[in-house]
A and B are shown apart, each in its own frame.
Chain A
Amino acid sequence: MLVVAFVAFSLFQYVGDPVQLMLGQFATPADRIRLTHELGLDQPFYVQFFHFVVNAVHGQFGVSLRIGKPVSVLLAQRLPATLELSICAALLALAVGIPAGVYAGLRPNSWLARLAMSASLVGVSLPTFLIGILLILVFAVKLGWLPAFGRGDVVHLGGWTTGLLTTTGLKSLIMPTVTLALFQLTLIMRLVRSEMLEVLRADYIKFARARGLSDRAVNFGHALRNTLVPVITITGLQLGSIIAFSIITEQVFQWPGMGLLFVQAVSYADIPVMAAYLCLIALVFVVINLIVDLLYYVVDPRLRIDRTSAAGH
Chain B
Amino acid sequence: MRKGVSLCISALFATMLVAAPGYAATFRWASQGDILTFDPYAQNESFNNTFNAYVYESLVQYDKKFDVVPQLAVKWEQVTPTQWRFHLRPNVKFHEGEPFTADDVVFSIHRQLSKRSMTKSYLVGVADAKKVDDLTVDIITDGPAPVLLRQLTDVRIMSKSWCEKHNVVDVQDYVAKEETYAVSHADGTGPYVLKSREPDVKTVLEANPHWWGKLEGNVTEIVYTPIKSAATRTAALLSGEIDFVLDPPPQDLPKLKSDPNIKVVEGTENRTVFIGMDQKRDELLYSSVKGKNPFKDLRVRQALNMAVDIEAIKRTLMRGQSIPTGELITPESYGYDPTIKRGPFSVAKAKALLKEAGYPDGFEVTLDCPNDRYINDALICQALTSMWAKIGLKVKLDAMPKAQYFAKINKLDTSLYMLGWAVATFDAQDALINLVHTRDGKGSGEYNDGSYSNPKMDELIEKMKVETDVPKRLALIHEALRMHAQDVAHIMLHQQIIPWAMRKNIAVIHSADNRLRMQWVHVN
Residues of A bordering B, CB below 8 Å: 14-18, 20-29, 31, 34-35, 38-40, 60, 62-63, 65-70, 73-74, 129, 133, 136-137, 140-141, 144, 147-151, 251-254, 256, 260-261, 263-264, 266-269
Contact = CB atoms under 8 A, between A and B. Distances in A.
Contact of B183 (A28, A68, A140, A264): A68
B446 A136 contact: no
Nearest to A73: B179
Interface in B160-214: 172-180, 183-184, 198-202
Given A20-B410, A67-B36, A68-B174, A149 B232 contact: yes
Interface residues of B, number: 64
Contacts of B180: 68
A24 B118 contact: yes
A147 B405 CA distance: 36
A268 to B, nearest CB: 7
B508 interface: no
Interface of B: 33-34, 36-37, 39, 42-46, 115, 118-122, 124, 172-180, 183-184, 198-202, 225-229, 231-232, 235-236, 238-241, 372, 401-407, 410, 421, 424, 430, 434, 441-443, 446-447
A11 B231 CA distance: 29
A168 to B, nearest CB: 11
A254 B228 contact: yes
A148 B44 contact: no
A188 to B, nearest CB: 27
Contacts of B407: 16-17, 20
B147 to A, nearest CB: 12
A137 B43 contact: no
Contact of A16 (B39, B241, B403): B403
**Most B Cβ at <10 Å: residue of A25, A26, A137:** A26
Contacts of A148: 232, 235-236, 239, 241
Contact of B239 (A40, A73, A74, A140): A140
A23 B231 CA distance: 30
A28 B434 CA distance: 10
A261 B200 contact: yes
B173 A38 contact: yes
A29 B442 contact: yes
**Most A Cβ at <10 Å: residue of B119, B120, B232, B240:** B232
B238 A22 contact: no
B39 A68 contact: yes
A2 to B, nearest CB: 22
A28 B42 CA distance: 15
Contact of B228 (A21, A25, A70, A251): A251
A140 B241 contact: yes
A136 B201 contact: no
B201 A151 contact: yes
Nearest to A18: B403
Contacts of B405: 16
A70 B121 contact: no
Contacts of A34: 115
Contacts of B229: 129, 251-254
16 contacts: A16-B402, A23-B121, A24-B119, A24-B121, A29-B446, A38-B175, A63-B176, A70-B177, A70-B179, A74-B199, A136-B231, A148-B239, A251-B228, A254-B200, A256-B198, A267-B401
10 nearest A-B pairs in the assembled complex, by CB-CB distance: A16-B403, A24-B44, A26-B121, A17-B407, A16-B404, A269-B403, A68-B183, A256-B201, A148-B236, A69-B179
Given A22-B118, A34-B115, A264-B200, A39 B236 contact: no
Given A26-B430, A29-B441, A254-B225, 12 more contacts: A20-B407, A22-B43, A39-B174, A63-B177, A65-B174, A68-B37, A68-B172, A69-B184, A70-B179, A151-B201, A260-B228, A268-B403
